[in-house]
Amino acid sequence: MSARAREIADRVERFVREVVVPYESDPRRDHHHCPTDELIDELKAKARAAGVMTPHILPDGSHLTQRETAAILIRSGLSPLGPQACNTAAPDEGNMYLLGHVGSPELKARFLAPLVSGEARSAFFMTEPADEGGAGSDPSMMRTTCRQDGNHWVINGRKAFITGAKGAKVGIVMAKSEATDGTGGACMFLVDLPDPAIRIDHVPNTIDSSMPGGHPVVTIDNLRVPADQMLGASGEGFKYAQVRLSPARLSHCMRWLGACIRANEIATAYACRRQAFGKLLVDHEGVGFMLAENLIDLKQAELMIDWCADVLDTGALGTVESSMTKVAVSEALMRVADRSVQVMGGMGVSGDTIVEQVFREIRAFRIYDGPTEVHKWSLAKKVKRDWMAAHGG
């Protein structure tokens, strides 16, 4: 780790452990048990005062390397509230990365600056309702459309599981142009929120509860967007999505590794204090072995993240490597979270510690940013392609 990353990471860890952790029992939650914006804004104010607001983006606007970012985001994840407080949470972190790399100076000034400062939250509008045949893991199924009307584009469609849409001030909307002049295909637009043309229909209760605003289902009804708010050109939306995809996927791994490190700490402390059948729980082989296996999975997750970050730092898209890392890390962390619950017994399924929440959050993590099975299917296709290429198939 570089000296600058170590210094920033140490500050972030101190802030999360000393300032953020006491807020985990704060009752300011909505009816989905997600933290309210009032709670998050209070934490962000404390992060600014401590100099840990958006710590992976330097004052000159440059972004730390992915390996440096990993050191910082892992530590911000030591509490489920940490990424929100430090402005390293999804979807904002991925949206900032995308805009920082492909946004024009005008778009950066208008949309990126308030995200970096923590004054605004954002939402990424891509997933669509499954029961309507919309896009999910297969983005080619996108049904939301856009058509040019003079110097504006008009967008219509439905989106689902749009994290943080309720309360967001910046939106990135993906839609499909049906133009027949060769410019058709996926498009990506930046929009100011709220907008009366984007209606929140429903905020479902979900297994996870760390994201303010939840995961709403929305209807987009004749949303008019100026043409200069399109990222790139018509038909280039998937290309820009690829810029965001691998780093955002890896960032999820970083943050949830931090959460599972903390869950394992809590489970370990419980096992080293709690007695049963004449000795400490940790001295019972069945319990001690679970904690030993946690250490192995946590280290393997850390090494996979470091490896993938190193690939991305070369400038490669890292699609294959991030798929491998997403599968390995999400599955390993699920085992860690499950064992931590099991070690703690009844305490593990209560809300008295964050272990129960971490278990729920990691279960959701195995699905978002691509379910394990989709990544394995993609990797299997690569296995076949590589074999066919090597054997003249």
CATH no., domain 123-233 = 2.40.110.10
**Block residue for tokens 């923590």:** 118
Q: Domain 3-89 sits in which CATH superfamily?
A: Acyl-CoA dehydrogenase/oxidase, N-terminal domain (1.10.540.10)
What letter represents residue 223's amino acid?
L
From first to last of its 393 residues, the chain has per-residue pLDDT tens of: 899 999 999 999 999 999 999 999 999 999 889 999 999 999 999 999 999 999 999 988 889 999 999 999 999 999 999 999 999 999 999 999 999 999 999 999 999 999 999 999 999 999 999 999 999 989 889 999 999 999 999 999 999 999 999 999 999 999 999 887 777 899 999 999 999 999 999 999 999 999 999 999 999 999 999 999 999 889 999 888 888 989 999 999 999 999 999 999 999 999 999 999 999 999 999 999 999 999 999 999 999 999 999 999 999 999 999 999 999 999 999 999 999 999 999 999 999 999 999 999 999 999 999 999 999 999 999 999 999 999 987
pLDDT tens, position by position, 319-376? 999 999 999 999 999 999 999 999 999 999 999 999 999 999 999 999 999 999 999 9
Q: Global pTM?
A: 0.96
CATH class of 238-390: mainly alpha
Structure confidence at residue 139 (pLDDT): 87
SS3 61: coil
Q: Which residues contact 328 (CB under 8 A, 6 or more apart)?
A: 300, 301, 304
**Would you give the end-to-end CA distance of the chain in angstroms?**
44
Q: Are 220 and 154 in contact (CB under 8 A)?
A: no
Structure confidence at residue 1 (pLDDT): 80
H or E segment at 124? strand 122-125
Structure confidence at residue 221 (pLDDT): 98
pLDDT tens, position by position, 212-237? 999 999 999 999 999 999 998 899 99
Q: What are phi and psi of 158, to 5 degrees?
A: -130, 140
SS3 72: helix
Structure confidence at residue 181 (pLDDT): 79
SS3 318: coil
Structure tokens at 295: 């250490």
Q: How many CA atoms lie within 13 A of 102 on its CB side?
A: 22
Domain range summary for the chain, segments of one domain joined by +: 3-89, 123-233, 238-390
Structure confidence at residue 392 (pLDDT): 84
Long-range contacts of range 30-37, CB-CB < 8 Å, 24 or more positions apart?
Answer: 30/214, 32/203, 32/205, 32/206, 32/209, 32/214, 33/209, 34/209, 34/210, 34/211, 34/212, 34/213, 34/214, 35/81, 35/84, 35/210, 35/212, 36/212, 37/121, 37/167, 37/212, 37/213
